[in-house]
Amino acid sequence: MAAEGKGIRGLSRAHIVWAVLAGVLAGHVILAALVFDPKPFVGGDNASYMILAESLEGGGGYRDLYLPDAPRHTKYPPFYPTILAAARLFGGELIAYKLLSVLFTTASVLFLFLLARKRLSDEVGLAVAAAFAFNPVLLYYSHWVLSEAPFVLLTLIGLWAAERFTDSWRWLAGAAAAALLAYLTRSAGLPLVAALLIALGWRKLWRQMAVVGGTAVLVLGGWWLWGKLAAAGADKAYASEFLLLDPYTPEAGYVGPGALVARVINNIRLYLIDVTPESLAGVAPAGGVNPLALAAALLLVALALVAWVREIRKVQVLELFVAAYAALIFLWPQVWTDRRFLLPLLPVLFVLAAAGVAWCFDFVKARQPVWVLPVIGALFVLLAMPDHVRSVKFSQNCMKFYRQGDALSCYPPPWRAFVEAADWVEANTAADAIVINRKPRLFYYFGRRAGDVYPFTSDDAAMLAFLDEIGADYVLIAGLSATTFRYLVPVIRSVPDRFRPVLQVGEGSSPAYVLEYLGAGADAPDPGMEP
């Protein structure tokens, strides 16, 4: 950090830096409030976290309450649900969970500043903090009950503590604790743990490596052992899904060496051409790629790559993490290529890109003007403004519906029908009824009825055997996923005597149907209600 000196009207340079940072943090909170979406996220992960928190707070252990017989959960590590369970102790649920996400994203901006300031300078810290504070992806995940916000925060804390570590056990303990808690938040935290251990080994700090490695073995091994000892029927781990060509089309088979190489190449292309531009400027409403966002993304990655190549020889935690985490998301199934997986890498790319700018000036033997990085940071902020305007408009309309007691109007028609069907099932079926549908975790959240997703199989006999074995009472047909019409609807059409329609909700082309599952020998249903 540069000498403090005097700034404007007698204020010290440090005071000015912290005042600007406070403005950036306040700006993030204000914009997060303006784009706030009060409804639950329509992915199943957030419902799973809330259900696990409910189970923990209720004393039932770490269980999937939405599944029949509530087996132990093995898919998502327990740290984030534990935080939510603690919030429930104080009476907080959905809105409190969302406010926690805002707190996590705001703290992420702070620790990004501290990381960039430690590695480069105050000016760099402020520039990258501003670019990240107003980034559309960070703001998007600031109001969902998902692990992205705490995971990004823990990753940045770990990288910052690792930057400060020289031979102090205090900073090493901080880095190791953050890395292991990141892993216990998402399994994708493993690259940070590995980066820390490799960096310690490279520096021949064998005692420190042994302590951190031993602790990591206990933590990682404990979570692995929990999965092995958990009750049968719990969710599968990501590792089994990773090996499939397409997790949503299991009959396509498993990935081989050639397909794995093709997956990496395609993922690199998608992250570079599609995901990174969308992460900087938001998703274009008309589809396609924003040319300015694409140019900014290519420049960002190029500058970051220049700095990474120059710095990797030092074998530091940050550069090792970038390599390991990038390898992970490039190896992941292509259907999961998404902004959410790039988000933990994005703030680190900003830091590296700032270092890349400095190298470019050094290369041409020119002094870097102090205004360069603030201007670049401002350009990244401006690039995202159209997306922010759209998000604010949507949020304000949604909040108006909520104030009028019409929360369902915040959902697209298929999800509106899904929620209406769940409400009806809760009011009109037995408490122990089992409902098979594409989104069983969200169905449990809205309808308080256990169930499971149907198997992704085209074998009618296997599908019927599943329904019989699980003791299904109802099935739900809703236009949420093509897999419903690929796997479940053909079975209903082939043996209509086993299903009786009891509800149709929704309008236009997005209705939802609840059908009672009767088993063999029942009368055929009313054709007018057949989906």
Instruction: Give the contacts of 277 (CB within 8 A, at least 6 positions apart).
Output: 289, 290, 293, 294, 296, 297
- Give the Cα-Cα-Cα angle 454, 457, 462 (nearest 5 degrees): 80
| DSSP count for the chain of H helices, then E strands | 24, 5
For position 5, what pLDDT does the model report?
Answer: 53
Compute the radius of gyration of the chain from its Cα atoms. 25
Token pair for 73: 């959960």
Instruction: Give the contacts of 177 (CB within 8 A, at least 6 positions apart).
Output: none
Q: What mean pLDDT do residues 58-79 have?
A: 94
CA distance 149 to 339: 13
Q: What mean pLDDT do residues 142-151 have?
A: 97
For position 506, what pLDDT does the model report?
Answer: 87
Strand pairing report for 451-452 and 499-505: unpaired
For position 473, what pLDDT does the model report?
Answer: 97
pLDDT of 233 strictly over 50: no
pLDDT of 529 strictly over 80: no
For position 437, what pLDDT does the model report?
Answer: 97
pTM over 0.85: yes
CA distance 94 to 97: 5
The residue with greater pLDDT, 234 or 175, is 175
pLDDT of 240 strictly over 80: no
Token pair for 497: 């005597």
> What percent of the chain is predicted at pLDDT more than 70?
93
Instruction: Give the contacts of 276 (CB within 8 A, at least 6 positions apart).
Output: 297, 300, 301, 342
pLDDT of 119 strictly over 90: yes
pLDDT (tens digit, 9 = 90+) per residue, 169-197? 999 999 999 999 999 999 999 999 999 99
CA distance 487 to 357: 52
Confidence class of residue 432 from pLDDT cuts 50, 70 and 90?
very high
Confidence class of residue 48 from pLDDT cuts 50, 70 and 90?
very high
SS3 511: coil
pLDDT (tens digit, 9 = 90+) per residue, 5-41? 555 566 788 889 999 999 999 999 999 999 999 999 9
Token pair for 448: 């308080």
CA distance 142 to 130: 16
Across the chain, mean pLDDT equals 91
Helix orientation angle between 440-447 and 413-428, rounded to the nearest 10 degrees: 60
Question: What residue type is 149 in one-letter code?
Answer: A
pLDDT (tens digit, 9 = 90+) per residue, 386-414? 999 999 999 999 999 988 988 888 999 99
* Cα dihedral sign, 312-317-319-320: positive
CA distance 122 to 103: 23
pLDDT of 259 strictly over 60: yes
Confidence class of residue 510 from pLDDT cuts 50, 70 and 90?
confident
> What percent of the chain is predicted at pLDDT more than 90?
75
462: Cα separation from own chain's centroid: 33
- What are the beta bridge partners of residue 517? 499
Lowest-confidence pick of 249-253, 274-278, 363-367, 469-473: 249-253
pLDDT (tens digit, 9 = 90+) per residue, 437-462? 999 999 999 999 999 999 999 999 99
CA distance 441 to 236: 15
Cα→Cα distances 247→237, 253, 278, 345, 438, Å? 12, 9, 24, 24, 14
CA distance 193 to 181: 10
CA distance 280 to 26: 20
For position 13, what pLDDT does the model report?
Answer: 82
pLDDT of 1 strictly over 60: no
Strand pairing report for 474-478 and 435-436: parallel
pLDDT of 246 strictly over 80: no
Confidence class of residue 83 from pLDDT cuts 50, 70 and 90?
very high
Strand pairing report for 474-478 and 451-452: unpaired
Nearest to 358 by CA among 119, 24, 59, 82: 119
For position 204, what pLDDT does the model report?
Answer: 95
Helix orientation angle between 372-383 and 346-363, rounded to the nearest 10 degrees: 140
Segment holding 225, helix H or strand E: helix 206-229
- Give residue for tokens 């997986």: 341
Confidence class of residue 531 from pLDDT cuts 50, 70 and 90?
very low
pLDDT of 85 strictly over 70: yes
For position 62, what pLDDT does the model report?
Answer: 96
Give the sheet arrangement for strand 499-505, strand by strand.
451-452, 435-436, 474-478, 512-517, 499-505
Helix orientation angle between 44-57 and 440-447, rounded to the nearest 10 degrees: 60
For position 211, what pLDDT does the model report?
Answer: 97
Helix orientation angle between 94-119 and 122-133, rounded to the nearest 10 degrees: 150
